[in-house]
Amino acid sequence: MTVPTTILGQNQYGKAENRVVKITRDGATHHIRDLNVSVSLSGDLDEVHYSGSNANVLPTDTTKNTVFAFAKEQGIESAEQFGLALARHFVDATEPIRTARIRVEEYAWERIATSEGEAPHSFVRRGQETRTAQVTYDGSTVEILSGLKGLTVLNSTDSEFWGYIKDKYTTLKEDYDRILATEVSAVWRHGWNGEDDASAPDWQSSYEGTKALMLGAFAETYSLSLQQTLYRMGSQVLEGRPELEEIRFSMPNKHHFKVDLEPFGIKNEAADGAVYIAADRPYGLIEATVLREGAEARIPLDLTNL
Ligand SMILES: O=c1[nH]c(=O)c2[nH]c(=O)[nH]c2[nH]1
């Protein structure tokens, strides 16, 4: 082997975006789980980079096959459970693989309502958020980050923004009754570390409970800034969900500006029901982590790939 004058840094590999759909039949009633699963493995993999020896490489093609085989053999209970089964398999069954990171996006379907009631095997894709999960396993410890993205919410009042710094470039008018809208991306970290399967959270109810607390706090906070609303959402989640240690949000401020209709002699006031222009870009971007006191901040700062 030639001695490299460069050295290999962090590396990982796997099959990204395995789109797996599992149907479960319960008599005539069918159930659907629809996931996008990305596998990323690391371990004793220097040689494949240095010399091209594939002796320690489990092909990405095999990782893809494993995703589909596990969906059939074990079923898909939740994004987290499925990710955990895969992560444990890759590390525990393949000696050179030391760490597995499984990312899952889940797309929700709901039953179509017909005049006969809920259709047993006809579904419409739900337009709300995408659920996410990331499972990392290093042979001893599990870390599970659950989350969501694309959850768009709006308060048509109970939002103000005033009292901010004004310098020579400031043109923004103080607002005492504005629309507050955002598209929530959030990732939350579970305290459970995989040591005791019996004490694992109920992933489904944990997800639903977290989302409900987040939405409740958004609706119930009288907001003086999106930052304040974000913090309230995070603290309400952590107070209500003891299984969680920290939560991070990325929330674009989806500005709605009152249109100036004065040139047409028309008053356009929030108090009378106003007309707004929903601005697309640029947008304010408010991001923060909320932690349980004493917890470590481990969620990555950039949520875009989670
Ligand atoms: O909720 C807000 N936070 C800000 O930091 C900010 N900045 C701004 O121009 N509008 C807003 N709104």
Nearest residue by C-alpha to atom 8 in ligand 1: 284
Q: How confident is the model at residue 293 (pLDDT cuts 50, 70, 90)?
A: very high
- Centre of ligand 1 to C-alpha 133, Å, is 30
Q: Are the C-beta atoms of 74 and 277 separated by less than 8 Å?
A: no
Q: Tell me: is residue 253 an annotated ligand-binding position.
A: yes
The closest-lying atom of ligand 1 relative to the alpha carbon of residue 226 is 1
Tokens at 146, concatenated: 């659950």
User: How high is the pLDDT of residue 2?
Assistant: 65
Q: What is the pTM of this model?
A: 0.95
Q: Are the C-beta atoms of 183 and 152 separated by less than 8 Å?
A: yes
The closest-lying atom of ligand 1 relative to the alpha carbon of residue 172 is 9
C-beta 161 within 6 A of ligand 1? yes
Catalytic residues, by residue number, are 15, 60, 255
What's 177's DSSP letter? S
Judge if ipTM > 0.90: yes
How does pLDDT run across 67-96, given as a tens digit for each residue? 999 999 999 999 999 999 999 999 999 999
Asked whether the domain spanning 147-306 has the same topology as the one spanning 1-140, the reply is: yes
Indicate the fold that domain 1-140 takes in CATH: Urate Oxidase (3.10.270)
How does pLDDT run across 244-273, given as a tens digit for each residue? 999 999 999 999 999 999 999 999 999 999
C-beta 136 within 6 A of ligand 1? no
> Which CATH number applies to 147-306: 3.10.270.10, 3.40.50.300, 3.30.470.20, 3.30.420.40?
3.10.270.10
Question: Among 253, 274, 259, 287, which residue's Cα sits nearest to residue 156?
Answer: 274
Q: Tell me: is residue 54 an annotated ligand-binding position.
A: no
Across the chain, mean pLDDT equals: 97
Question: Reduced to 3 DSSP states, what percent helix, strand and coil does the chain have, rounded to the nearest 5?
Answer: 25, 35, 40
Question: Among 129, 80, 91, 128, which residue's Cα sits nearest to residue 244?
Answer: 80
User: How high is the pLDDT of residue 1?
Assistant: 67
110: part of which helix (H) or strand (E)?
strand 109-114
CA count, 13 A, side-chain hemisphere, 40: 15
CA count, 13 A, side-chain hemisphere, 266: 10
Q: How confident is the model at residue 127 (pLDDT cuts 50, 70, 90)?
A: confident
C-beta 284 within 6 A of ligand 1? yes
The answer, yes or no, to whether residue 4 has pLDDT greater than 80, is no
C-beta 180 within 6 A of ligand 1? no
Q: Tell me: is residue 218 an annotated ligand-binding position.
A: no
What is the rounded CA–CA span in Å between residue 157 and residue 180?
A: 7
Neighbouring CB atoms inside 10 A of 75's CB total 14
Neighbouring CB atoms inside 10 A of 36's CB total 17
Q: Are the C-beta atoms of 34 and 83 separated by less than 8 Å?
A: no
Q: Are the C-beta atoms of 251 and 183 separated by less than 8 Å?
A: yes
Mean pLDDT over residues 225-238, rounded? 98
The answer, yes or no, to whether residue 242 has pLDDT greater than 90, is yes
**Dihedrals phi, psi of 34, to nearest 5 degrees:** -130, 110
Neighbouring CB atoms inside 10 A of 285's CB total 11
How does pLDDT run across 178-187, given as a tens digit for each residue? 999 999 999 9
Burial of 109 (0-12, 13-18, 19+ CB in 10 A): middle
What percent of the chain lies above the pLDDT cut of 90? 97
How does pLDDT run across 41-51, given as a tens digit for each residue? 999 999 999 99
Domain boundaries, given as residue ranges, for the chain:
1-140, 147-306
